[in-house]
Chains A and B, each alone.
Chain A
């Protein structure tokens, strides 16, 4: 499994766009990049998954450069309810997910 590095914490004001970057220098050819969100005392929730370029859904966008050694989760116009821990996971989609420490996002009013 490729090792990932992401900031431990981030603060953002309500209404701003938040970008959380994850480094994964040793990503393998078969690896996908997946992001999960976890609220306190709840299970992680799948947000988005991508392989290359850009993926967008109703919740977020995922930007992956050509070398795939990093990725950026973009949350448009965050609200207080987006305060959570965000996990970047890299691996073959057939493997079990392995969580790191994640990025704790605090949205400030």
Chain B
């Protein structure tokens, strides 16, 4: 079964540092997403990406966040200057078409110290 792959599985970073979380969506999928889940809380939408541009973003996705699809396979989330409250599991998801179900990756656990 095709998978969404995320790397690294766990990243520890110092406050103020930049981090890049990487995702390889399923190859024929066209819609890409980032979600996050703070420990013990709900899964929250961050951003959706289609046709090489952001289609929707949440209030959480401020100027510190950016996404990129630098080549045909990778989809990255960059946090420019991490804060303690950015500590969470970050999930990448993709889907083939607008009406299809999402496939989520296993997540990257980001710990900001």
Q: Which of A34, A49, A93, A97 has most chain B Cβ within 10 Å? A: A97
Q: Give A98 to B35 CA distance when docked, in angstroms.
A: 10
- Determine if A96 and B33 form an interchain contact, defined as CB atoms under 8 angstroms apart: yes
With an 8 A cutoff between CB atoms, is B25 at the interface?
no
Which of A36, A42, A44, A101 has its CB near the most chain B CB atoms (within 10 A)?
A: A44
Q: How far is the CA of A36 from the CA of B103 in the complex (A)?
A: 10
Interface residues of B in 62-107 (CB under 8 A from A): 89, 91, 93, 98-107
Contact at B98–A43, with CB atoms within 8 Å?
Answer: no
Give the interface residue-count category, chain A: 10 to 19
User: Is A12 interfacial (CB-CB < 8 Å)?
Assistant: no
Residues of chain B contacted by A99 (CB below 8 angstroms): 35, 42-44
User: Cβ of A41 and Cβ of B109 under 8 Å apart?
Assistant: yes
A10 to chain B, nearest CB (A): 18
Contact B89 A101 (CB under 8 A): no
A residues less than 8 Å from B99 (CB atoms): 93-94
CA distance A9 to B105 in the complex (A): 25
Looking at B33, B43, B102, B105, the one whose CB has the most chain A CB atoms below 10 A away is B43
Indicate whether A41 sits within 8 Å of B89 (C-beta atoms), given known contacts A94-B99, A96-B48, A100-B42. yes
- With CB as the reference atom, state the residue of chain A lying closest to B10: A41
The answer to whether residues A97 and B109 also contact, given A38-B43, A41-B89, A43-B91 and a CB cut-off of 8 A, is no
> Which residue of chain A has its CB nearest to the CB of B104?
A43
Give, as a whole number of angstroms, the nearest-CB distance from B41 to chain A: 9
Further 6 A-B residue pairs, CB within 8 A, beyond A41-B109, A98-B45, A100-B42:
A38-B43, A44-B102, A49-B101, A93-B98, A94-B99, A96-B56
Q: Which residues of B contact A (CB under 8 A)?
A: 4, 33, 35, 42-45, 48, 56, 89, 91, 93, 98-107, 109
